[in-house]
Each structure stands twice: as structure tokens, then as C-alpha cells.
């Protein structure tokens, strides 16, 4: 498993443990919904046409007021958007729309982790938190004390 995959997997575990934070609970529901759309993505053009608007509505919903997107736009970079080709979501091919859908999951994970950190460290600067999270480095989770339980288990405490 790559370091980046391990980071996101660990973040998902932390999010599951942090569901009592209302913003995190909402993000987890959005992640589940996105995974459901991914798993049941239309296989035929006919079913794609029937479900396209529903999938687009989901993508627009999760992108609205997402701190991840706001931070990326502030930096002048949209690197996390799989196809920054200027097309509207309604103009995308089935594969392009799937790729956009798939790209929302890591962004939602980062959004959830932002809320976990902000809940524990309310005076932390948004910019610093987001820069840390964009590193996809497991050490960021240690820095914010989010892996203490795992460290204690590994050390046998």
C-alpha cells in the first residue's frame, strides 16, 4: 500500500471515530453516498443518461463550501480536480464524470480531517491545517495527536 493510500485509509479510521462532531458526521455521510454512486455507476449509456443529473447534483453538493476547494482556489491551483479542462459537469463523458466523482472522495476525507483538527485546535490557522493535510503525510496526524491510540497499541501500553 502506498504512503498516500495509507494516509487516506488512516484518515477514514479517524473520521469514523470522530462521528460525534456534527461536521464530520455530515462528511462521512457524503463519503458513503459518493462510494455508493461509484459502486453503482451506470454501465450503459442509457442508464448514464438517466442517472447523470443525480450524480452531477451530488458532485455539486459536496463541492459547495468545501474548505479544500476554497484553499486550492486561493492558491490558484485546482490540482485535485481530475479534469480541469473547462468543461461543465453536464458536458463530461461517462468516464470523465466518473473520474470527477472518484476525485471527490479524497477531497471529502481532507474536509473531514480539517473539521477533526479544527474541533481539537480551534485557534489553528486554516491555511496551516490545509497545507499539512495536502502533504498526505501520516506524520501530520501524529503532529495533531490523532494517532496516539494507535501508537500506544503498537508500543504495548
CB 14 within 8 Å of CB 149: no
The domain of 110 spans 3-155
The C-alpha cell that represents 138 in the structure block:
501520516
pLDDT value of residue 64: 84
> H helices within 40-137, ranges in order?
45-63, 67-74, 94-120, 126-134
Rounded Cα–Cα distance for residues 124 and 120 (Å): 9
pLDDT digits (tens, 9 = 90+) for 36-82: 999 999 999 999 999 999 999 999 999 887 888 777 655 544 444 44
- Using alpha carbons only, give the angle 34, 38, 40 rounded to the nearest 5 degrees: 115
CB 115 within 8 Å of CB 25: no
Rounded Cα–Cα distance for residues 22 and 30 (Å): 13
Work out how many domains the chain is built from and give that number.
1
pLDDT digits (tens, 9 = 90+) for 117-153: 999 999 989 889 999 999 999 999 999 999 865 543 3
Binning pLDDT at 50, 70 and 90, where does residue 109 land? very high
Considering only CA atoms, which of 111, 113, 114 is closest in space to residue 126? 114
Residues 6+ apart with CB under 8 A from 124: 117, 118
Amino acid at each position: 500500500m502506498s504512503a498516500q493510500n495509507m494516509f487516506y485509509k488512516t484518515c477514514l479510521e479517524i473520521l469514523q471515530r470522530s462521528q460525534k462532531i456534527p461536521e464530520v458526521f455530515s462528511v462521512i455521510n457524503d463519503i458513503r453516498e459518493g462510494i455508493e454512486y461509484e459502486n453503482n455507476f451506470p454501465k450503459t449509456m442509457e442508464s448514464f443518461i438517466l442517472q447523470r443529473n443525480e450524480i452531477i447534483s451530488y458532485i455539486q453538493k459536496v463541492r459547495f463550501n468545501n474548505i479544500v476547494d476554497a484553499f486550492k482556489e486561493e492558491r490558484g491551483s485546482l490540482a485535485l480536480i481530475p479534469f480541469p479542462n473547462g468543461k461543465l459537469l453536464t458536458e463530461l463523458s461517462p468516464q470523465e464524470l466518473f473520474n470527477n466523482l472518484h476525485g471527490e472522495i479524497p477531497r471529502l476525507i481532507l474536509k473531514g480531517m480539517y473539521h477533526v483538527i479544527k474541533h481539537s485546535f480551534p485557534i489553528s490557522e486554516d491555511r496551516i491545517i490545509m497545507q499539512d493535510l495536502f502533504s498526505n503525510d501520516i506524520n501530520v496526524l501524529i503532529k495533531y495527536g490523532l494517532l496516539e491510540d494507535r501508537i500506544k497499541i503498537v508500543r504495548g501500553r
